[in-house]
Chain A
Amino acid sequence: MEAMTIRSILQAIVHPRTVTEDLGPPPQVAADVPRLAGSLQLRHVDAGSCNGCELEITSTFGPVYDAERFGARLVASPRHADALLVTGPVTKNMVGPLVKTFEAMPEPRMVIALGDCARDCGVFRGGYGVEGPVGDVLPVDLQVPGCPPNPEAIVRALRGLTGR
């Protein structure tokens, strides 16, 4: 960072700039995943997670990783969402609500399975309350591996979708 002179401070006031390191071009994603033009509204559903993934999501949208600067936002209703962000193995109690949430979203819609549990039930595989991975219930478009995936991984995945 350059030296803080009065001149530089005034310049920063008149021409504010994003203070961030250069992250390089957005990562490439598989060709069958739909590409969005810079904006991605996410509805998050916890289908039975241990809340490890939730902590990382919170961090992703916190001040340090700040995924909103890449166009990804968490929204409060599936009616507003482009993509469904599912964490955890799908428990028997959450099958109905998860499907209802998916059906409440406008088309075109995507499903992101976040974390190992959402991908293949992880350590909960075979549990008496577990129905199966997200892929058994909904068509999954993108998977983010990790137990839990760290914020960098989540940001990378979201940047792949928003293209920013």
Chain B
Amino acid sequence: MSNLSLVITAIAGLSAAIAGCALPAKTRVHAAVAFTWGACIAALVGSLTVLHTGHAMVLNSSRILPLTGVTMVLDPLGAVFVVVTAVVAIASTLYWLGYASHGLSTRTASAALPIFVTSMLLVPAAGSVATFLWLWELMALSSLLLVLVDQRRREETRSAAQWYAVMTHVGASAILFALVMLSAHAGNQTFAAIRIHAVHLPAAVRNTAFLLALVGFGSKAGAVPLHVWLPKAHPEAPSPASALMSGAMVNLGIYGIVLVGDRLLGGGPAWWWLTVTAVGVVSALFGALHAATSTDLKRLLAYSTADNMGLVLIGVGASGLFATTGHPAIAAIAMVSALLLTVNHAAFKGSLFLSAGSVQVATGSRDLDGMGGLLRRMPITGAVFLVGGLAIAALPPLNGFVGEWLLFQSLLHGLPTSSTAVAIAVPVGVAALALTGGLTAAAFVKAIGVGFLGRPRSEGAATAHEVPRTMQLGAALLAGACVVLGVVPMIVLPALERATAAAVPGAPAHSLRSSVELRLAGLQGVLAPALLAAGLALAFIAVIAIRRLAQRRSHLRLALRRAEPWGCGRELQTARMQYTATSFAEPLQQVFDDVLRPDRDLNVSHLAESRYYTEKIAYRTSIGDVVEHNVYRPMIGAVNAWGQWARGLQNGSVHRYLAYGLVVLVVILAVIV
């Protein structure tokens, strides 16, 4: 009975794509959105049922795909990811209604977006290698189409799409190798059969499969050094698509790593998980550092995605590590924290990307250095961005705080109990987490302070207007989720515990005891997010009340005089004299100069009459990606050089081609004879 929801999801998603493709321009988007919501709600109902009962949902059909058939198994672990995807998709498609007029109402886009959503809803439910790869590829291709939407107008979009296409397919082929290898050894391509057989696999096969899966899924999750596509493709994609990519698609990379490492292979040696943790630490630091120094709003958010996925990977790695050292309770808490961080990230990054899209629509630019004063002109979008920014900086009472608190607890409590490797990895993880937290806060102080406060720095920012209601509502929906998850995380924790029980072998059924406050079973850690929120609210109300009272008493009344900002007595103060995103990040850039390697260019031109007088000083600085520059560029260069060399073979002369044929024939004959 219950697999009905998977069928409805698929059918509704397909209908949305057909509607988006076939209907006339006026009704296209509305119909596609309505059908996509149908798919999302069906998936939501199905996965919530799975999470509630704890029983997997199974669908088998040999008629849909030739040769392999379709096997769908939605277990609690997958259901968590389906719920996240569905919620982000509902918000993003709501936003799409208002955004459609900005180049996202073409037939291709209206068909690709529902397919993208539907495939993401179904990927976690895939129960066999063929089904999984089909859906995975569908997701990659439909998102590629969405990245390409603006390609006629912008040169960068094409380049970003190329990077994305190559990286996602390198990843997909790594996943393909890993899964096919496992299924070949198992002799059956369903995940259930692979899981049973995995125990008997030789260590070399297990190791290769895991590392290939880590590369494949890591590239999807934006793990450094496979992240290079992420800060290119996410900013170039239209905002509803970037919210979906950043809020839902990257999560599936995490899902894949947990699926292969924990579910299919049933855990592994400590070095697997140390590798995962190390990748997480590097991604978190690298992403946070670049987010703190980016001046492009959406690029900042994209790097921050790499940062957050790094944190999730630290959680996943720590969970695997504690499971191998025989601490399933702490492993379970680490896994719950990783899942909670994933859920949180979807909520705040979705809202941030959607509101960044609104800013882009309103100002016509993504450059923070040209913004300013947007909070006054776009109050709702600004408030949503503020909530998202506070949440991502992990400030209570919002959701980021609860997730990072849990991760810290699991890491700190894992410390005194185990081997040398853990004893080294865990403090490094904790330190990385702390530094990442600080850098993320700096990044979002910059984004909010420079973008939304102060005075407008450009014509676009000065004439910005609030965007349509549907766009505000779409972004606000996810910001609301941030607040709810922050104040009452208990509503999702039982579900995450079920999912953890499916992923971590030997995990206790209840690793967290929660009513009003959050208690960690077996550890000394208590957090009461609701009380914390209530305390903050009370303090806020108290300050306002005291102010009101003071104003009523005449002798306490605050003498209020409005004066212009103090500018050292300068006669002329312009918006250009404010801190910009670049100048705010400059000290950080100086400190991390060796990691960021910024490209600086200073040009001083003098007057023709005398070299003692400068006519113009031009200063240009840009921060490229070190990994891209030092790893990928040489690789691309080598491929190009090889291609150039091979061109010499093809010079257009028929005689030479005939000679090639003759030589090959002779060689073949010689070999055969």
Instruction: Give A contacts to B, CB under 8 Å.
Output: 45, 77-79, 96-98, 100-101, 103-104, 107
Contact = CB atoms under 8 A, between A and B. Distances in A.
Return the 7 tightest CB-CB contacts between A and B, nearest first: A97-B569, A100-B569, A96-B571, A104-B566, A101-B569, A79-B566, A104-B563
Interface string B654-669: 0000000000000000
Contact of B569 (A79, A98, A107): A98
A77 B569 contact: no
A45 to B, nearest CB: 8
B570 to A, nearest CB: 7
B561 interface: yes
B570 A97 contact: yes
A135 B566 CA distance: 23
Contacts of A77: 566
Nearest to A45: B569
Contacts of B568: 97
A107 B561 CA distance: 9
B338 to A, nearest CB: 47
A103 B563 contact: yes
Interface in B550-570: 559, 561, 563, 566, 568-570
Contacts of A98: 569
Interface of B: 559, 561, 563, 566, 568-571
A100 B561 CA distance: 14
A137 to B, nearest CB: 13
Contacts of B569: 45, 96-98, 100-101, 104
Given A107-B559, A107-B561, A78 B570 contact: no
Contacts of B561: 107
Contacts of B570: 97, 100
Nearest to A99: B569
Contacts of A103: 563
18 contacts: A45-B569, A77-B566, A78-B566, A79-B566, A96-B569, A96-B571, A97-B571, A98-B569, A100-B569, A100-B570, A100-B571, A101-B569, A103-B563, A104-B563, A104-B566, A104-B569, A107-B559, A107-B561
A98 to B, nearest CB: 7
Contacts of A107: 559, 561
Contacts of B559: 107
B557 to A, nearest CB: 14
A103 B559 CA distance: 15
Given A97-B571, A100-B569, A107-B559, 5 more contacts: A79-B566, A96-B569, A97-B570, A98-B569, A107-B561
Contacts of B563: 103-104
Nearest to A95: B571
Main secondary structure of the interface of B (DSSP, over half): loop
Nearest to B561: A107
Contacts of A100: 569-571
A98 B561 CA distance: 19
A104 B566 CA distance: 7
A35 to B, nearest CB: 20
Contacts of A97: 568-571
A79 B563 CA distance: 11
A103 B569 CA distance: 10
Nearest to B559: A107
Contacts of A78: 566
Q: Of residues B563, B566, B569, B571, which shows the largest number of chain A Cβ atoms within 10 Å of its Cβ?
A: B569
A104 B563 CA distance: 7
A107 to B, nearest CB: 7
A87 to B, nearest CB: 15
A103 B568 CA distance: 12
A107 B560 CA distance: 10
Q: Of residues A77, A79, A103, which shows the largest number of chain B Cβ atoms within 10 Å of its Cβ?
A: A103
A121 B566 CA distance: 28
A32 B137 CA distance: 85
A69 B186 CA distance: 86
Nearest to B570: A97
A158 B563 CA distance: 28
A100 B570 CA distance: 8
A157 B571 CA distance: 32
Nearest to A104: B566
A28 to B, nearest CB: 30
A45 B559 CA distance: 26
Contacts of A96: 569, 571
B560 to A, nearest CB: 11
Contacts of B566: 77-79, 104
A112 to B, nearest CB: 17
A77 B569 CA distance: 10
A51 B239 CA distance: 60
Nearest to A79: B566
B228 to A, nearest CB: 46
Contacts of A104: 563, 566, 569
A97 B568 CA distance: 8
Nearest to A94: B569
B558 to A, nearest CB: 11
A79 B570 CA distance: 15
A98 B569 CA distance: 7
Nearest to B569: A97
Nearest to A100: B569
A78 to B, nearest CB: 7
A103 B564 CA distance: 9
A96 B573 CA distance: 13
A98 B571 CA distance: 10
A77 B567 CA distance: 10
A13 to B, nearest CB: 42
B389 to A, nearest CB: 28
Nearest to B571: A96
A77 B566 CA distance: 9
Nearest to A97: B569
A101 B567 CA distance: 9
A77 B570 CA distance: 13
Nearest to A106: B561
A79 B568 CA distance: 11
A123 B150 CA distance: 71
A104 B568 CA distance: 10
A45 B568 CA distance: 11
A79 to B, nearest CB: 6
Nearest to A102: B569
Nearest to A93: B571
A53 B28 CA distance: 78
A78 B564 CA distance: 13
A103 B563 CA distance: 8
A107 B569 CA distance: 18
Nearest to B566: A104
A129 B247 CA distance: 64
A77 B563 CA distance: 14
B170 to A, nearest CB: 56
Q: Of residues A77, A100, A101, A107, which shows the largest number of chain B Cβ atoms within 10 Å of its Cβ?
A: A100
Contacts of A45: 569
A94 B504 CA distance: 73
A103 B562 CA distance: 10
A94 B563 CA distance: 19
Nearest to A103: B563
A107 B559 CA distance: 9
A155 to B, nearest CB: 27
A90 B511 CA distance: 74
